[in-house]
Amino acid sequence: MARVIMHVDMDAFFASVELQRHPELVGQPLVVGGKGDPSQRGVVSTATYEARVFGIHSGMPLRTAVRLCPDAVFLPVDFTAYRAASARVFEHLQQVSEAFQPVGLDEAYMDLSHRQADAVALGAQLKRDIHADTGLVASVGIGPNRLLAKIASDLEKPDGLTHLTADDVPGRVWPLPVRTLHGVGPRTAERLATLAIETIGDLANMPLARLQAVFSARHAHTLHAAAHGLDDRPVQTERVRKSIGRERTFQQDCRSSGRLAYEARVMLDDVHGRLQQRALAARTVTVKLRYRDFTTHTRSRSLGAATQQIDALAEAVEQCLFAHHLHRAVRLLGVQLSGLEVAMPDRQGG
């Protein structure tokens, strides 16, 4: 049976939720990120399409965004509101398919291979149902695999509904920038540029042997397959998250070990709450420090068994923190729990 995969991506999700709360801002360039103050450190989480025309994009420093568009409205991130909106959207997706894999708060994959219905018609109805219930707009992509479904959902944003088949790859996929492909980040794109590869078509037409001269054999095969629209990744319906973490960038570099210890505990309390909400236990604790010169170091400690016990996790965080050199000016602090497992009753704790 041929696979049919749907990818649903909410358009400018955080910003769209904010516009529902601030309808007077509709039509204005709006940027959501950090604490909403572009004079402070922080990055753009999302921006409305009116802001994107100025070159503003996710991950950009807020200070850069305000230089590009001084008249933009800046709002702080409100994850409580976004999680609530996401839950309502995902309820609709789960009604379409039980084979459902969320990716963050604003996108998900669904396997429709066993649905005896027109996938395009299902996508159109799903978009209408989401908008009627939440007022939010989704773009939907449909394809024979996750790769093409994801590309399809991006092709006609915002409010898109696009179906790509294997036959569409040469005409519709190959002209796209190579960065469009899953797994091609800035560093990979730079290395591909040394081979004069700028589009997906350039990559598809590159002899595999030449790719293997720049990348490992496995990576070269993966890139070559992706350029031809091939992807065998399943929709994972029972996936356990690999890690849960939180980071903070200080407005002024921190030199106080006491304050770092306090902030690390605050972060752990937040991360521990999310661990409990998901009924998970953690085996490994990691503390990350980024210094003034942007060098980054991590220290980790693995526990004997996965646990939810806050005291054990707090002790591990403290040990990891003080394994760092704390005499240097710290720009960023992060706490992460990994090695996650479904929590057993005797592992749960306060």
Q: In this structure, what DSSP letter does residue 326 have? A: T
Task: Measure the CA angle with vertex 123, ends 200 and 156; round to 5°.
Answer: 40
Query: Collapsing DSSP states into helix, strand and coil, what is residue 49?
Result: helix
Strands (E), the chain: 5-10, 30-32, 46-47, 73-75, 100-102, 107-111, 138-143, 161-163, 243-254, 280-291, 296-307, 330-338, 341-342
What are 302's strand-pairing partners? 284
Cα–Cα distance measured from residue 22 to residue 198, given in angstroms and rounded to the nearest whole number = 40
107 in active site: yes
Query: Collapsing DSSP states into helix, strand and coil, what is residue 212?
Result: helix
Q: Are 148 and 163 in contact (CB under 8 A)?
A: no
269 is in an annotated binding site: no
**Residue where the block lists tokens 């003034």:** 292
96: left (phi over 0), alpha (psi -120 to 50) or beta: alpha
> Of these residues, 50, 107, 247, 341, which one is catalytic?
107
Here the tokens at position 325 are 């050199």
Cα–Cα distance measured from residue 340 to residue 348, given in angstroms and rounded to the nearest whole number = 13
106 is in an annotated binding site: yes
**Residue where the block lists tokens 């379409």:** 96
Distance of CA 276 to the CA centre of its chain: 21
Residue ranges of the binding site for Mg(2+):
9, 106
Catalytic residues: 107
Residue ranges of the binding site:
9, 106
